[in-house]
Amino acid sequence: MKEEIQQLRTQFEADIAAATDGRDVEALRIKYLGRNGLVTALSRNMKHVAPQDRPVIGKMINELNTLVRDAIQARKDDEGETQQEAGIDLTLPGRTPRVGRRHPLTQIRDEIKQIFLRLGFAVADGPEVETDFNNFEALNIPKLHPARNMQDTLYISEELVLRTHTSPVQIRTMLKQKPPVRIIAPGRVYRRDTPDASHSPFFHQIEGLLVDEGISMGDLKAILSVFTKEMFGADTKVRFRPSYFPFTEPSAEMDMWWESDKGGRWLELLGCGMVNPKVLENVGIDPQRYSGWAFGGGIDRMAILKYGINDIRLFFDNDLRFLEQF
| 238 scored as a contact of ligand DAH (CB under 6 A) | no
b/e string for 153-175 if b means 16 or more Cβ within 10 A? bbeeeeeebbbbbbbbbbbbbbe
Q: What's the min distance (Å) between Cβ of 188 and ligand DAH?
A: 13
| 165 scored as a contact of ligand DAH (CB under 6 A) | yes
In the chain, the amino acid numbered 157 is S
From 245, 254, 299, 315, residue interacting with ligand DAH (rule: CB under 6 A): 245
The mark string for 247-276 relative to ligand DAH (x by CB under 6 A, - otherwise) is -x----------------------xxx---
Distances in Å between the Cα of 249 and the Cα atoms of 221, 268, 279 are: 15, 19, 10
| 206 scored as a contact of ligand DAH (CB under 6 A) | no
| 153 scored as a contact of ligand DAH (CB under 6 A) | no
In the chain, the amino acid numbered 311 is D
DSSP3 helix / strand / coil % (the chain, rounded to 5): 45, 25, 30
The mark string for 288-317 relative to ligand DAH (x by CB under 6 A, - otherwise) is ------xxx---------------------
Q: Which is nearer to ligand DAH, 104 or 273 (CB)?
A: 273
Binding to ligand DAH in span 2-61, by CB under 6 A: none
Q: What's the min distance (Å) between Cβ of 225 and ligand DAH?
A: 16
CB of 246 within 8 A of CB of 282?
A: no
CB of 205 within 8 A of CB of 297?
A: yes
CB of 293 within 8 A of CB of 225?
A: no
Q: Please give the order of strands across the beta sheet that includes 122-123.
A: 122-123, 181-190, 202-212, 291-298, 263-275, 248-260, 238-245
| 207 scored as a contact of ligand DAH (CB under 6 A) | yes
| 104 scored as a contact of ligand DAH (CB under 6 A) | no
Binding site residues, ligand DAH, CB under 6 A: 165, 167, 207, 245, 248, 271-273, 294-296
